[in-house]
Chain A
Amino acid sequence: MSKFLLPFSEGRTSRSLFSSTGMLVSSFFLAAFVSIQNSLIYVLFILGIVVMGGIVARTRWGTVLSLISKIEVIILAWLLIIPLIYGTTVLFQISLPWGTLPVFQEGVERGLLLALRMITIILIFITTLSHMTLSEFIGALKTLQVPTAMLGSLLIMLRFIPLFMEERSQMHNAQILRGYDLGNRWQKIRSLGNLVGTTIDRAFDRSIVVYEAMALRGFGKGSMISETGVKRSDAILLVLLAVLVLSMLFLIPHLELIII
């Protein structure tokens, strides 16, 4: 699995109770629901539900968390930048050689909310994807009427991104063996720039060869992707989502009142 960029389970079919289409639609719905929440406690509640659901479904947390950790920098950036630029109530000031930098209370709250929303949404998607195979994911998109041409490109992209990453890593290792670390900062930047350029160049070359290989085996002549459809058990997902939304509307406001 280490060569996979996304957390898909191995093989052609997974043994999930729900169809991949059902899981994907539910995660889209849940993610949309999270994105409109303006209360920290609501987002935390959904996050808790997602984690509990993941535990029940025996999610491979190692893979999921390792992928989330790869995007932590973006989340941290929100957490650190927003408090400096958003709000009017100064919480405290940071002294710098050229002056002071105010940290706003509204910014801290907003940054925390946005970061938590992002973590929850990313967790929802990565956890969902970890319960289906790549084929089921593509099949689910096909069921959702995503155009085949787009899915074909996506399939190739998901197959080749890990390959390019491996190639890039090998080339970087070769640079290290020839003294990459001994160079100054400018030389390092230039080497990395060349590395990225070469990887992209090779990617273009390879995409032509891959297309030729596919054309030789009749690309476009038949149905490349088969739909995964939906299962009756997907109704359970709908019910669970409805329960979650209703509990958010009625239960949590009461809890808030009790806490206050």
Chain B
Amino acid sequence: MTCAIDVSHVFFSYDDFRMEDVSLQLHIGEQKVLVGLNGSGKTTLFKLILGLLEPTSGSIHVFEREVTHENLWEIRQDIGFLFQNPNDQLFAPTVWEDVSFGPRNLGLSKSEIDERVRWALEIVDMIGYEERPVNQLSHGQAKRIALAGIIAMRPSILILDEPFTGFDFKMVSNMIEIINKMRQDGVTILYTTHNRFFIENWSDSVAVIENGRIVYDGSTKEAMDQKIVKDNIGDWSGLKHLIRSFNEGIR
């Protein structure tokens, strides 16, 4: 299978954090979840892929093109990155202007920009919010608009940093529907989560990052039996026992 993203033997360090010999493949059409404890290097890896950080050594290829200073804009047109906090991403005065920011930078005509914005807002079910100031959106709405701003650029790969943080059940279902629609259109997905449910039920493969090293990369089915995976997504059955024994102690 051809790689959408190919991270090969990447080394990177800043302050006390070190990323060592990281290799990761994301195949076209695949949905991979990147798992790791806080501070393990997930966001750093994303930034390296997006060219926001530069590896000390090793290489990163997106659709067989190496990520370099010269082709950053080409690479970034292929990858859409959803920030964990939508407020980090939305900056324009209105929804329409924020969603149209990317398409405008692609040099599209006015009618094409309008069409892209409408299409993206339709996908995230936010038609009618075009004139709304971005700082008057709820967390869920802001996240959907942030996603619309990315998909309006029609990327082939979506990288989602904790897409469900702060969401209620309805918003989670809505977000899954949106991402599934994108997948049906052939978009490749890489996302992070701490939630075991999504890891088990909403990914083709799992990669585990621990202290700046990829310690597991394989199919979801096999991953759930691996100790290293359990260690990094947490032992939820152990937590259940801990709570039960605590409650019994109180009684």
Co-complex (A, B): yes
Instruction: Give residues in A with beta carbon < 8 Å to B.
Output: 1, 3-4, 8, 10-12, 133-135, 138, 155-156, 158-160, 162-163, 206, 209-210, 212-224
* Pairwise interchain contact A163-B133, C-beta atoms closer than 8 A: no
* Pairwise interchain contact A218-B102, C-beta atoms closer than 8 A: yes
CB proximity to A under 8 Å, residues B76-134? 76-77, 79, 81, 83, 85, 87-94, 96-97, 101-102, 104-107, 130-134
Q: B247 within 8 Å of A by Cβ?
A: no
Shortest Cβ distance from A226 into B: residue: B104
CB distance from A165 to the nearest CB of B (A): 11
Shortest Cβ distance from A138 into B: residue: B93
* Pairwise interchain contact A218-B133, C-beta atoms closer than 8 A: no
* Count of chain B residues with a beta carbon within 8 Å of a chain A beta carbon: 36
A156 to B135, CA, bound (A): 12
A11 to B102, CA, bound (A): 19
Known: A216-B50, A217-B101. A155 touches B92 (CB 8 A): yes
Shortest Cβ distance from B150 into A: residue: A217
* Pairwise interchain contact A10-B101, C-beta atoms closer than 8 A: no
A92 to B47, CA, bound (A): 69
* Pairwise interchain contact A135-B93, C-beta atoms closer than 8 A: yes
CB distance from A218 to the nearest CB of B (A): 3
* Pairwise interchain contact A3-B135, C-beta atoms closer than 8 A: yes
Q: Which of A160, A162, A213, A221 has the most CB of B within 10 A?
A: A213
- The one of A4, A138, A214, A222 that contacts B133, using a Cβ cutoff of 8 Å: A4
CB distance from B133 to the nearest CB of A (A): 6
CB proximity to A under 8 Å, residues B41-93? 47, 50, 52, 73, 76-77, 79, 81, 83, 85, 87-93
* Pairwise interchain contact A162-B91, C-beta atoms closer than 8 A: no
Shortest Cβ distance from B47 into A: residue: A212
- The one of B79, B88, B106, B131 that contacts A12, using a Cβ cutoff of 8 Å: B131
* Pairwise interchain contact B52-A218, C-beta atoms closer than 8 A: no
